[in-house]
Amino acid sequence: MAEKTMIEAVRDAMYEEMKRDDRIIVMGEDVGEGGVFRATEGLLKEFGPERCMDTPLAEAAIVGVAIGASLNGILPIAEIQFADFIHPAFDQIVSEAARLHYRSNGTWSCPITIRTPYGAGVHGGPYHSQSIEAFYAHVPGLKVICVATPYEAKGLLKSAIRDPNPVLFLEHKKAYRLMRQEVPDEDYTIPIGVAEVKREGTDLTLVTYGMMTHHSLKAAEAVQQEGGLSVEVIDLRSVSPWDKERVLESVKKTGKALIVYEDNITGGFGAEVAATIAQDAFEYLDGPVTRVASPDVPISPYSGVLEEYILPNPEKIAAAIKKLAAY
């Protein structure tokens, strides 16, 4: 077992899976050179140009070719260089990949994995900072994963590659080299759709995912040190499917629910979590279901000051925890 960053864990997962199954290919813009974040570094040298293929700057074509390849026995990993660039492929993902199994009455499946870095906090500006999970979590037939740590990145990416369904695998770019964590050398997977309680607590349930998991854990620690509040932090890890049972179990225990996500607040995935809690755990609640998210502005400003102003951070989350706990 060695300590890895998230980007190293992602690279290891692809390398090990390509070694395990020669049907797996990687395709995308500049993947032969290692990609913008070096996620595919070394794959071209190890597996050759037939299994690590550079593509044109054409996201609809990248996903469309991946779909066609999957129908012919290939298991593609399609990299979209930034999540902000995925929108030209929306129709291929939503109308083709996600619907193929249903439209063919179960005759065909579409085992593609679409990897892409998402999220703000790295001064990427409006074209390199978007959170896209809510668009795609809305689509039946498509699985959407948002990882927070190196251990989860490797285990869940392996599960995504082995899944017979199309999977959108979102890697928060700020988390790529944020931390090192022990990652097993041996093969392992993490089931898609199972949340993890990152921190146990009794006073309040905090539901989050991706980069906000790190901010939420810092906030939970701060409010405990400051005032003794006990916050249970749940990392969803997958937003489609998402672990309703574990969230509801926690809310029924604590009586209060705070949902934290980076995307702008209106129509963000946290709204779905909030609605489910309000519907299925109403009689257990001892306060309003509350959200912390970015305001409804185009994410994200180039200015570091403005970016910090709009994004959730540990201080904003801690303030929301204290306000809800005092309700």
| Cβ neighbours of residue 174 closer than 8 Å, sequence gap 6 or more | 119, 120, 121, 122, 211
The secondary structure of residue 258, as a DSSP letter, is E
Query: For strand 196-199 and strand 231-235, is the pairing parallel, antiparallel, or unpaired?
Result: antiparallel
Residue written as token pair 């303030």: 319
From 82, 65, 67, 94, select the one nearest 30 (Cα to Cα): 82
Give catalytic status of residue 172 as yes or no. Answer: no
CA trace torsion 268, 273, 277, 280 (10° rounding): 120
User: Out of 87, 128, 172, 214, which one is annotated catalytic?
Assistant: 128
**Contact criterion met (CB below 8 Å) for 93 and 63:** yes
CA trace torsion 186, 190, 195, 201 (10° rounding): -20
Half-sphere exposure of 225 (CA within 13 A, CB side): 7
Distance between CA atoms of residues 138 and 148, nearest Å? 21
**Contact criterion met (CB below 8 Å) for 146 and 238:** yes
The secondary structure of residue 96, as a DSSP letter, is I
Distance between CA atoms of residues 276 and 160, nearest Å? 26
Q: Is 49 exposed, middle or buried (0-12, 13-18, 19+ CB in 10 A)?
A: exposed
Distance between CA atoms of residues 285 and 277, nearest Å? 9
> Which residues carry out catalysis?
128
